[in-house]
Amino acid sequence: MTIQELYKLYSINFLVNTDTRKIRKGSIYFALKGNNFNGNNFALDALNNGAAYAVIDEEIESHSNIIKVDDVLSTLQKLANYHRKHLKAPIISLTGSNGKTTTKELIYAVLSTTFNATATTGNLNNHIGVPLTLLAMTPKTEIGIVEMGANHIKEIEFLSSIAEPNFGYITNFGKAHLEGFGGVEGIIKGKSELYDFLRNSKGTAFVNEDDPLQVEKSEGIKTIPFNSSAIKFIEAAPFVKVEFDKVQINSQLIGKYNYYNIAAAIAIGNYFKIETSAIKNAIENYIPNNNRSQIIQKGTLKIILDAYNANPSSMEAALENFSQLEDSTKIIFLGDMFELGETSEEEHQKIAELATSFNFKQVFLIGKAFSTTNVKNALIYDSFDSFKDSNNYIKLTNSTILIKGSRGMALERILDLF
């Protein structure tokens, strides 16, 4: 079956699925494969659960609504790109080392005030998530927002070739996925592949003028610049407040590091002619979730939960911000940062030294990588279980707490211990 023929079937309902537990009636099921699963084995279940067709790449029991292809993932990606070429809606793609998902959610909140917008769900931003995001768009979609993640060179180039964005935004270049990119220069090169696509396709980039590196790497592209003169930072105590168009916007995001995430959403909303009052309402009503900069009150403890992800850049920003809070008694729980490769020992030592340089009441360092650090004035554990068994957290009261670590550490488990 050709992509054109498959597209005719897809365009009946504009629905696709990759999980038989979430089948929507009339959808096309794509039998993806992974290290621990084979979607081909569930194709008939998908049809029995309401899927109109199932796309497979292995021999299974015959069925009139089975579509066999050479490679299911490649077919999904080609269908997404074919669909993208038929969409009239402009596409905004964004990537970066830190703040991608929060920025995407803010942009979506702002644009949704005026447009029928479709955006990446959660952080489904890889070679599967980007096609699924595009295929979630319908002829009714007026604007699309596609988050793109990567941990190797050429990934953003590939994702850009699928999404074909009209607009792009890179949040920053930070120390994330150092192992896969081979160092900071690799990160800059890999993320800048979005700029390369926009340059070659005569697209437009939203650029933070306060970041000289973004300005440099976006040369030769039509740009929509923004900066701290037009969008003023007021404070982060702990929530970020900004001023735009003589209007104060009081967000529910903590940390000065979220300022540029907010500023980007404001700049993009302003470009698409959204009223300042609507931008203000959208940002003020956005509440972070999924372990991202959440503030949780448990008894006398005020907890800043930022346990969705961590890398040296975001960890440093979180610690600097936490140190500036006026709360009198501050305690931090830090978990290992993953995917740092050969730089892991050095980067963990730097963060451990930074964490203990502040006047925090207590510093907890948790994980195999942090256990090799050499610092004074910290309680260090080689695993979450050893930390849990220590019971050193039981008597904590009347304190402000920061919890931050990579997703694999799942430090939100600490909440259950208080």
Domain membership of residue 239 (yes or no) is yes
Pairing type for strands 167-170 and 53-56 reads unpaired
The three state secondary structure string of 328-348 is CCEEEEEECCCCCHHHHHHHH
Query: Is residue 124 located within the same domain as residue 272?
Result: yes
- My answer on whether 129 and 229 are in the same domain is yes
| 325 or 218, which is more confident | 218
Query: 128 falls in which pLDDT band (50, 70, 90)?
Result: very high
Average pLDDT over residues 380-385: 95
Question: Confidence band (pLDDT; 50, 70, 90) for 109?
Answer: very high
Q: Do the domain assignments include residue 116?
A: yes
Q: Are strands 91-95 and 167-170 parallel, antiparallel or unpaired?
A: parallel
Using DSSP, state whether 241 is helix, strand or coil. strand
pLDDT computed for residue 99 by the predictor: 85
CA 281 – CA 287 distance, rounded (Å)? 12
Residue 295 confidence class, pLDDT cut points 50, 70, 90: confident
Inside any domain, residue 82: no
Domain final position from 13, 45, 76: 76
Q: 116 and 25, same structural domain? A: no
Q: What is the pTM of this model?
A: 0.85
- Asked if residue 178 belongs to a domain, the reply is yes
Residue 249 lies in a domain: yes
Residue 289 included in any domain:
no
What pLDDT sits at residue 110?
98
Return the pLDDT at 179: 64
Burial of 285 per CB tally in 10 Å (0-12, 13-18, 19+) = exposed
275 shares a domain with 224: yes
Residue 264 lies in a domain: yes
211 vs 152 pLDDT, higher one: 211
Length of the chain: 418
Mean pLDDT of 298-326: 88
2: left (phi over 0), alpha (psi -120 to 50) or beta: beta
| Selection from 234, 274, 248 nearest residue 108 by Cα | 274
pLDDT at 141 > cutoff 70: yes
Do 273 and 410 sit in the same domain of this protein?
A: no
- Give which of 134, 162, 118 is closest to 10, Cα–Cα: 134
Instruction: Judge if 129 and 274 occupy the same domain.
Output: yes
Residues 192 and 117 in one domain: yes
DSSP-assigned states of every residue in 1-33: --HHHHHHHHHHHT-EES-GGG--TT-EEE--B
Q: How many CB atoms lie within 10 A of CB 416?
A: 7
pLDDT at position 65, please?
95
- Domain end marker among 28, 57, 76: 76
At residue 123, does pLDDT exceed 80?
no
Q: Chain-wide mean pLDDT for the chain?
A: 92
- Sheet of strand 16-17, all strands in order from the earlier edge strand to the far edge: 16-17, 28-30, 53-56, 66-68
Which pLDDT does position 36 carry in this prediction?
Answer: 87
CB 245 within 8 A of CB 211: no
pLDDT in tens, 158-198: 999 999 999 999 998 866 566 666 777 888 898 999 999 99
- Please compute the mean of the pLDDT values over residues 211-215 and round it to a whole number: 94
Q: What is the CATH number of the domain that holds 61?
A: 3.40.1390.10
Q: Looking at the domain assignment, is residue 32 inside a domain?
A: yes
On the question of pLDDT at 363 being above 70, the answer is yes
Can you tell me the distance from the alpha carbon of 260 to that of 10, in angstroms, rounded to the nearest whole number? 38
Last residue of one domain, picked from the residues 76, 100, 128? 76
pLDDT at position 124, please?
87
Read off the CATH number of the domain in which 265 is found.
3.40.1190.10
What is the tally of structural domains in the chain? 3
Give the sign of the dihedral formed by CA 400, CA 367, CA 317, CA 290: negative
Together in a domain, 240 and 307? no
Query: 322 is written with which tokens?
Result: 């936490």
Question: How confident is the model over 358-363, as a mean pLDDT?
Answer: 92
| Confidence band, pLDDT 50/70/90 cuts, at residue 307 | confident
Residues 301 and 163 in one domain: no
Q: In whole angstroms, what is the distance from residue 44 CA to residue 141 CA?
A: 31
Mean pLDDT of 349-364: 95
pLDDT digits (tens, 9 = 90+) for 16-57: 999 999 999 999 999 999 888 899 999 999 999 999 999 999
CATH of the domain at 312: 3.90.190.20
Residues 72 and 103 in one domain: no
Q: Is the distance from CB of 228 to CB of 257 less than 8 angstroms?
A: no
End-to-end CA distance of the chain: 57
Q: Which of 208, 233, 386, 389 shows the shortest CA–CA distance to 321?
A: 233
pLDDT value at 291 more than 80: no
Q: Give yes or no for a cis peptide into 238 (omega within 30° of 0).
A: yes
Q: What is the pLDDT of residue 359?
A: 87
How many whole angstroms separate alpha carbon 368 and alpha carbon 14? 46
DSSP 221: S
Between 229 and 341, name the one with better pLDDT.
Answer: 229
Instruction: Please determine, for residue 400, whether its predicted confidence score (pLDDT) is greater than 70.
Output: yes
Q: What is the pLDDT of residue 257?
A: 85
Residue 82's Cβ-count burial label (10 Å; 0-12, 13-18, 19+) is middle
Q: Are 168 and 197 in contact (CB under 8 A)?
A: yes
The count of C-alpha atoms lying within 13 angstroms of the C-alpha of 226, restricted to the half-sphere facing its C-beta, is: 23
224: alpha, beta or left, given left = phi > 0 and alpha = psi -120 to 50? beta
Could you tell me if 151 and 66 lie in one domain?
no
State residue 180's pLDDT score: 66
134 shares its domain with 188: yes
Q: What is the pLDDT of residue 177?
A: 61
* Domain extent at residue 348: 294-417
